[in-house]
Amino acid sequence: MIFWKLFYTFCKIGTFNFGGGYAMIALIQDEVVEKQAWMTVQEFTDIVAVSQMTPGPIGINVATYAGYTAVVNAGYDPWIGVAGAFLASFSVILIPFILMLLLARYLMRHKDNKNLNNIFSILRITVLGLIAAAALQLATPTNFGSWSESPLQLCLSLAIFLTVFLLALKKKISPILLILLSGVIGGIVYGVR
Partner 1 sequence: MAGYFELFWSFFKIGSFTLGGGFAMIPLMEKELVQQKQWLSKEEFLDLLSVSQAMPGVFAVNMATSIGYRLRGKAGAIMSVLGNILMPILTILLLAVFIRYFRDIPMVEDIFKGIRPCVVALIAAPVFTMAKNAGLNWRNCWIPILAAVLIWLLGVSPVLIIIIAGLGGFLYGRFINKKEAAA
3-state percent helix, strand, coil for the chain, nearest multiple of 5: 80, 0, 20
Q: Is the dihedral of CA 90, 92, 93, 96 positive or negative?
A: positive
- Report CA Rg, the chain: 19
Closest CA relative to residue 38, chosen from 94, 90, 88, 91: 88
Which of 24, 32, 70, 87 is close enough to bind partner 1 by CB under 8 A?
Answer: 24
* Residue 71 touches partner 1, criterion: CB under 8 A: no
Which CB, 7 or 89, lies closer to partner 1?
89
* Residue 184 touches partner 1, criterion: CB under 8 A: yes
* Residue 93 touches partner 1, criterion: CB under 8 A: yes
Rounded distance, CA 134 to CA 154, Å?
A: 20
Which of 6, 7, 38, 51 is close enough to bind partner 1 by CB under 8 A?
Answer: 51
Which of 8, 16, 77, 151 is close enough to bind partner 1 by CB under 8 A?
Answer: 16
Helix 20-29 × helix 2-15 angle, to 10°: 140
Which of 5, 36, 58, 141 is close enough to bind partner 1 by CB under 8 A?
Answer: 58
Q: Which of residues 99-118 bind partner 1 (CB under 8 A)?
A: 99-101, 103-104, 107-108, 111, 114-118
